[in-house]
Amino acid sequence: MQSAPVTADFLISAGHEGRPESCARFPERRCNLGAPGEREWTPIVADEATRVLRGAGYSVAREPADFDGHYMVRGAVFIHFDGSPEPCSSGASIGYHTAASARAAHLWRSMYASEFPFRFQPDNFTKNLQDYYGFRQVDASQGALVIELGEITCPAQRAWLAPRLLDLGQRIAQFLEALAA
């Protein structure tokens, strides 16, 4: 089952994309379909980040939620929006598995917190963020992050995010370029 790792500059995964169809191939995972509307938005952001980076000459492994194999990259991002049963109790957040990604988390926070006008949660504020399944499939020399861009179940955050999906993709591309520099 183990094949050689795929090498690329970056891996960009769109959270929940391809589910529920892909869940059958990974029965050990919870088939989390995301917050309402999240699955429609994450590919838009991921595609734009990928377009910008490829245009700048980088190689990008653009993956959905569930994918096979192992990747060796400089930076990896798993793009999500948060959802909460108590609307507007959350916001943007970052997840990472080890201290090796702390610099990446700090860099993304410094770029995004200055423009995101809502709550920014502490890093790894849920265990799911820290132990995200996708981290197991990537070795990222400069860091691998789950990026939650805001709380889609909060009307005010949703209204702020909705017209900015392409901007967010461009911002993530900038971040990855800076991370790899």
Give which of 146, 165, 24, 5 is closest to 70, Cα–Cα. 5
Helix (H) or strand (E) run with residue 94 in it: strand 93-95
Residue 119 CA to residue 102 CA, distance in Å, equals: 20
> What track of x and - describes contact with Zn ion for positions 38 through 77 (by CB under 5 A)?
----------------------------------------
CB of 33: closest distance to Zn ion in angstroms?
Answer: 9
Which is nearer to Zn ion, 60 or 149 (by Cβ)?
Answer: 149
CB of 102: closest distance to Zn ion in angstroms?
Answer: 22
In terms of phi and psi (left: phi > 0; alpha: psi -120 to 50; beta: otherwise), the region of 118 is beta
Which is nearer to Zn ion, 40 or 68 (by Cβ)?
Answer: 40
Q: In the chain, what's the furthest Cα-to-Cα distance? A: 46
Give which of 80, 89, 87 is closest to 121, Cα–Cα. 89
The stretch among 12-20, 90-98, 99-107, 133-141 that binds Zn ion (CB under 5 A) is 12-20
Which is nearer to Zn ion, 39 or 74 (by Cβ)?
Answer: 39
Looking at the DSSP bridge assignments, the partners of residue 145 are 77
Residue 39 CA to residue 19 CA, distance in Å, equals: 8
> Quick one: which of 12, 14, 34, 94 contacts Zn ion (CB under 5 A)?
34
Which is nearer to Zn ion, 60 or 129 (by Cβ)?
Answer: 129
Q: Does 80 bind Zn ion (CB under 5 A)?
A: yes
Using CB under 5 A, count the residues that bind Zn ion.
Answer: 3
> Quick one: which of 8, 14, 15, 140 contacts Zn ion (CB under 5 A)?
15
The stretch among 15-23, 106-114, 115-123, 125-133 that binds Zn ion (CB under 5 A) is 15-23
Residue 175 CA to residue 81 CA, distance in Å, equals: 18
Binding-site ranges for Zn ion (CB under 5 A): 15, 34, 80
